[in-house]
Structure 1
Amino acid sequence: MIDRLFGIFLLFLGLYFIWGGSQLVVPFSYDPLGPKFFPMLAGGMLSILAIIAIINAKKVTFPASTTMIKTVIIVILLVAYQLTFDVLGFLLSTGILVFFISRIFAANQLQALSSAIGVSSTVYIIFNILLDVPLPVGSIFSSLLGAS
């Protein structure tokens, strides 16, 4: 039953995308497809997949309460990550996030700490150094580093 309800929700969302895309008006054509194409294509694909989900709905079993609690904790951690990203900076906020998520997935303290250091530093190197995408240092550290 839940699968069908979610499929109906996705169907209405897809139809809304199609309707919203059809309402886009551009005073001049700069692209042969125009801005209507992508939302209408996404809405069409979503509607087709939603119909398939409605037709092929199966009985849903919900996960154990411990899994649901872990999921809620991870969502709270992600919200906290987003809220502290600019203040703590990329390295520290990402390290803290990875540490706690590692602990949720049963890593010991050393494994979680090494994962936090490894993931945050590797991603920092990839984005900040190799791809030249600036990541925030953190407002609490910017005065120490002389950055504005």
Structure 2
Amino acid sequence: MSHMVENRRVGRAAALVLLAVAIAYGIGGATIEYAFSSDPLGPRAFPVMLAVVLGGLSLLYLVWPGRVEAIPTGRALLRVLAIPAILVVSIALFEPLGFAGATFLLTFGAALVFGAPVKHALIGAVLQTALWWTVFAYLLQVYLPAGALFG
């Protein structure tokens, strides 16, 4: 019985952390400045909507925390920590590597973490980078930085 109470406590603590993230993200999204004439919704709409959804789901999780998995150990813990580490590294290298280099690094690293062979991870990373470059640069007409290394 005490294990069940502990699980609920951990679930509720996680829900409160998610709620705090949702509030911070919503405030950050709501403060984005933009020219109203560019788009009726503007860049604020998407982050604010995501914050509302995350906040609502975290409140549901706070009320009904459900069962909580055990904290991973060993190799599983390394895999769990590797994804945010790869994300932080790719963000930190975004300016020197540009969009393509950072996207390649992120997708290649994630593929390796999830157990892809190096050859498949390379192919997947190249294809993902090309796909997202095409979507953003050509379909959405978004400027993508080439990076300081690639001029």
Q: TM-score range by the shorter chain?
A: 0.5 to 0.7
Give the match's secondary structure for 1:125.
helix
Q: Paired residue for 2:136? A: 127
Q: Which residue of 2 aligns with 1:56?
A: 64
Larger radius of gyration: 1
Q: CA RMSD in A?
A: 3.0
Q: CA deviation at 1:85?
A: 0.8
How big is the shift at 1:87? Answer: 0.6
Aligned-pair CA distance for 1:78: 0.6
Distance in 1, Cα, partners of 2:18 & 2:107: 32
Query: Cα distance, 1:10 vs. partner?
Result: 5.5
Structure 1: how far apart are the matches of 2:129 and 2:110?
Answer: 13
For residues 100 and 72 of structure 1, the distance between their equivalents in structure 2, rounded to whole angstroms, comes to 12
Q: CA deviation at 1:66?
A: 2.1
In structure 2, the residue matched to 1:97 is: 106
Gaps of 5+ in 2: 1-8, 28-47
| Partner Cα separation in structure 1 for residue 109 and residue 15 of structure 2 | 34
Q: Which runs of 5+ in 1 are unaligned?
A: 21-37, 143-148
Could you tell me which amino acid in structure 2 is paired with residue 58 of structure 1? G
Q: Could you report, residue by residue, the CA deviation over 1:4-29 in whole angstroms, capped at 9, with x for unpaired residues?
A: 22334556x49x78xx8xxxxxxxxx
Amino acid at match of 2:119: L
Provide the C-alpha distance between the structure 1 equivalents of 2:148 and 2:15, rounded to a whole number of angstroms: 44
Deviation at 1:112, TM superposition (A): 0.5
Normalising by structure 2, we get a TM-score of 0.64
Taking the aligned partners of 1:42 and 1:117, their CA distance within structure 2 comes to: 34
**Aligned residue in 2 for 1:75:** 84
Mapping of residues 10-25 of structure 1, within 5 Å: 13=20
Does the C-alpha gap of structure 1 residues 135 and 58 become closer, same or farther in structure 2, counting only changes over 3 Å?
same
How far apart are the structure 2 equivalents of 1:9 and 1:126? 33
The one-letter amino acid of 2:147's match is G
Structure 1's consecutive aligned runs of 4 or more residues displaced over 6 angstroms after TM superposition are none
Query: How many pairs are equivalent?
Result: 118
What pairs with 1:136-147 in structure 2 (closer than 5 Å)? 136-142=145-151
- Quickly say closer, same or farther: Cα 1:68–1:132, change in 2 above 3 A: same
